[in-house]
Structures are given as structure tokens and as C-alpha cells.
Amino acid sequence: MPATGIFPARASRPAVRPARRSTLPGSAARPRPRGRRLARWLNRNRRLAVALLLCAAAGIAVHQLTPTPARTVGVLAAARDLPAGANLGGSDLTTVSVPPAMVPEGTFADSTGLTGKQLAAPLRQGQLLTDAQLVGPGLLTGAPPGSAAVPLRMADPSSIQLVSPGQLVNVVLTGGNGYEQASASKVLAQSVPVLWTSGQEGQSGQWLAAGDSGGLLVVAATPAQASALAGASTQGKLFFVLVGSGAG
């Protein structure tokens, strides 16, 4: 018989395991690129991304269309309707903000020295106050160089109620007394503008004491007219005649 023998069993080979990634410090896996992560986030949140972009675009548009706040300055204006002849008090004026380009010359930034001043012309509520609207030197604002404010006392004080600042008048001198001396009239000044009248006077005048301004009329006159009008009331009786703006 053929010889038989016992052969040693084959040793089984151990299964090959995949090598594990090293977990040693400094050997961590590389992070994914940011661009790829952003793209994945956008894919998952498209509606949110679109909404954010639309909000940003709207904010930029509003910023571009919103005008830059204009610079303003504070000046005094009438707090309510004020009549000509009114004496200014603390509650008559208020401070308003106005662009510098719209502020005329002669305005006031505060009320220092204005209490008791008299208005030569009426003011509407909100109208800016200037020195040209006060009884005093400012009345000659805009008058030709050399002009003077000449006070005249009219023979008929009640006639003052018929005239107001800005109107043009002819000043007439009437001589004689109507009895022994013949009455003669002479025009001393033509088309002179009225600056102020005693009919607008408040509780106290700025030029004359109370009771001394009855029948008083102040006009703007050229040097030649001022010479003719000076002391005219001592030569006779003075009257005025209202004339139009085109009268010479």
C-alpha cells in the first residue's frame, strides 16, 4: 500500500486590514476649500441668498437716492402775524432754520437788543425779520446813496391814516393864511417813498416821545429834496398827495 503520511496543516494567512489614518498631532485631514463649502451652502439656501442680495441692493439704492441734509442757519422770524407799529416782545419772535443762500442781509440770529423795537411794516407769521422792517436807520435799506430820512409834520394829522410805508407821495407846501395873504402851493418833493407814519405808532415811539408824533410822516429824500424839505413846516402848511409808481 502506498505509504500515507500526515502532512502539516497550512497556516492561514491573516487578513490584510487597511491602514488606519494617522491620528498623531499635526497629521489631521486637510480642510475642504472654502469656495466649495460656499457653493454647497448656496445650493442649499438659494432663496435666503437671493433675499439677502435683494436687501443689499435696496439699501444701496436708498442710500444713493437720499439727499445729503442741507446746511442751515438759525435766524429770527415772526412767531405770529404782527401789525406795523408793534413793539417787539419776547414772544413775538421765534428761531427758524433756513439755508444760508435764502438768508437776506440784515437778519438777526438772536433777539439781543430787539425787545421794544418798533415795526415799520407788518410781518406775516414765519416771515424773516430784517433791519429794514424796524423803525430806525434800517428804513433806508436799498435807497440811493446819500438818501436821508426826513420827518415832516402834516397840517392835517388825520390824513396820516391814508398813507402807509412804501407808498409814493408828493410833498406840497401851502403858504398864506387864506385871509390877508394869498394862498400859494409849491411842490417841494415829488414821488418820495414813505418810510414811516405816526399812524403806525405803538405804545411808545422810537424817535419821539409819546404825544409828539401826531401827524408825523417820514420820507426818504435825495440830498436836494432833503434841503427843500428841511424846516418846510415853519414856512407854511405841509400836505401830501398820493401818486402812482410811474409818476415823476
pLDDT of residue 142: 80
CB contact set of 56 (below 8 Å; sequence gap of 6+)? none
Beta bridge partners of 76: 95
Residue 225: exposure state from Cβ atoms within 10 A (0-12, 13-18, ≥19): buried
pLDDT for the residue 129 = 94
Distance separating alpha carbons of residues 85 and 96, to the nearest angstrom: 23
Looking at domain 77-133, does it have CATH number 3.30.460?
Answer: no
d(CA 73, CA 110) in angstroms, rounded, equals 12
> What pLDDT sits at residue 2?
53
Query: 155: which 3 cell numbers?
Result: 397840517
> Which pLDDT does position 209 carry in this prediction?
46
| Alpha-carbon span 219 to 226, nearest angstrom | 9
Question: In the prediction, which pLDDT does 179 show?
Answer: 56
Helix (H), strand (E) at residue 40: helix 34-44
Residues of the chain with pLDDT under 70: 1-35, 42, 67-69, 176-183, 200-213, 245-248
Report d(CA 121, CA 82) in Å as an integer.
9
Domain boundaries, the chain: 77-133, 135-248
Contacts of 139 (CB under 8 A, 6+ apart): 120, 132, 149, 195, 196, 218, 220
